């Protein structure tokens, strides 16, 4: 596996790979089994697999965890080597942003709600870095976890609107045995918080059961979500919402493809989780 830190170096390698299909897994590192499942899927359908490891300052707000975001490049590289990944692109912040950026990619209509409401500017940062990475890597396929369902919707919309020639592959959420969605930020949780963090999954399961039992009133189910989340004394709710997916519009009645999305602070750690259901 080759580790690349310079854009020019990758461009020169990329020009030699013209007839090979390229699968790309963009990450911010501190990999877990959820990321590895994206690499597995990439390996199944591409000749060459490249992952990026880059903690993107542009998608963090001023009071967010950019400086403390967990990083362990050595361990990440070892795991990817064991998985037979071909290349890792791990640029510095200076390589990606040599001077203050004047161009931002801003996807409208689906970024004002959910995480976009609580993290203003976050999705501009995500869309901008992902487009930059697509321009640099020039992949055929790119793999994203559905734990960030809004991010997947934003990237799909950007690719569609800007005719970016990359096929987006959304991949299922990977969970710990007790249901907690895998996330690099889980490392922040104390033992007690880690136990309480299962409240997100339990609440989503409860909501799924309510819908299966015939509940279709969005407002009633959203109230129920908040009630369920009260079962954890440590849970501080950012949002608990039901939205049509992927347009993220709010509907009175639960129908079609719906996203049940939660963002909850457990102690100081903000966790997100969701389930997407197809309702006939």
Is 122 among the catalytic positions?
Answer: no
Q: How far is the CB of 220 from ligand PAF (least distance, A)?
A: 32
129 lies in the site for ligand PAF, by CB under 6 A: yes
Cβ distance 52 to 89 under 8 Å? yes
What part of residues 192-211 is at the interface with ligand PAF (CB under 6 A)?
A: none
Cross-strand partners of 87: 2, 50
126 lies in the site for ligand PAF, by CB under 6 A: yes
How far apart are the two ends of the chain, measured CA to CA in Å? Answer: 46
28 lies in the site for ligand PAF, by CB under 6 A: yes
Residue 268 Cα distances to 65, 80, 125, 188, 190, angstroms: 10, 30, 23, 8, 10
The DSSP-derived string for 62-95 is TTSSTTTS---HHHHHHHHHHTT--EEE---HHH
Cβ distance 155 to 127 under 8 Å? yes
Q: Which of the stretches 25-33, 91-99, 197-205, 269-277 binds ligand PAF when contact is defined by CB under 6 A?
A: 25-33
- Closer CB to ligand PAF, 152 or 275, in the complex: 152
Cross-strand partners of 53: 27
56 lies in the site for ligand PAF, by CB under 6 A: yes
148 lies in the site for ligand PAF, by CB under 6 A: yes
- Closer CB to ligand PAF, 124 or 193, in the complex: 124
258 lies in the site for ligand PAF, by CB under 6 A: no
Name residues whose C-beta falls within 8 Å of residue 7's C-beta, 6 or more positions apart in sequence.
91, 95, 136
Q: How far is the CB of 56 from ligand PAF (least distance, A)?
A: 4
- Closer CB to ligand PAF, 117 or 234, in the complex: 117
Count of residues binding ligand PAF (CB under 6 A)? 10
Q: Which of the stretches 72-80, 126-134, 229-237, 259-267 binds ligand PAF when contact is defined by CB under 6 A?
A: 126-134
CA dist., res. 208 & res. 210, Å (int): 5
Q: How far is the CB of 111 from ligand PAF (least distance, A)?
A: 13
DSSP 8-state code for residue 179 = S
| 87-89: strand order across its sheet | 2-4, 87-89, 48-53, 22-27, 141-145, 167-171
Q: Which of the stretches 88-96, 124-132, 252-260, 271-279 binds ligand PAF when contact is defined by CB under 6 A?
A: 124-132
Q: How far is the CB of 142 from ligand PAF (least distance, A)?
A: 9
Residues serving a catalytic function are: 35
Residues forming the site for ligand PAF (CB under 6 A): 26-28, 56, 59, 126, 129-130, 148, 151
């Amino acid at each position: 596996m080759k580790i690349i830190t310079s854009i020019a170096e990758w461009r020169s390698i990329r020009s030699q790979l013209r007839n090979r299909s390229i699968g790309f897994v963009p990450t911010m590192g501190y990999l877990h089994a959820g990321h590895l499942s994206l690499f597995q899927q990439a390996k199944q359908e591409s000749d060459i697999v490249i992952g990026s490891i880059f903690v993107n300052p542009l998608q963090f707000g001023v009071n967010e965890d950019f400086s403390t975001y967990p990083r362990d490049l050595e361990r990440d590289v070892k795991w990817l080597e064991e998985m037979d990944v071909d290349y890792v692109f791990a640029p510095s912040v200076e390589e990606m942003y040599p001077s203050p950026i004047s161009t931002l990619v801003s996807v409208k209509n689906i970024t004002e709600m959910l995480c976009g409401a609580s993290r203003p500017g976050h999705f501009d940062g995500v869309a901008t870095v992902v487009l930059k990475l697509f321009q640099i890597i020039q992949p055929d396929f790119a793999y994203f976890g559905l734990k960030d369902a809004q991010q997947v919707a934003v990237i799909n919309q950007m690719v569609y609107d800007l005719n970016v020639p990359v096929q987006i592959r959304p991949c299922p959420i990977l969970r710990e045995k007790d249901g907690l969605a895998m996330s690099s930020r889980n490392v922040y949780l104390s033992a007690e918080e880690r136990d309480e963090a299962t409240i997100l999954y339990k609440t989503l399961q409860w909501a799924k059961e309510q819908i299966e039992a015939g509940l279709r009133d969005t407002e009633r189910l959203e109230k129920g979500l908040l009630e369920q989340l009260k079962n954890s004394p440590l849970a501080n709710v950012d949002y608990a919402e039901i939205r049509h997916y992927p347009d993220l519009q709010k509907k009175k009645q639960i129908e079609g493809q719906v996203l049940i999305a939660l963002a909850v602070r457990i102690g100081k750690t903000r966790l997100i989780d969701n389930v997407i259901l197809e309702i006939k």
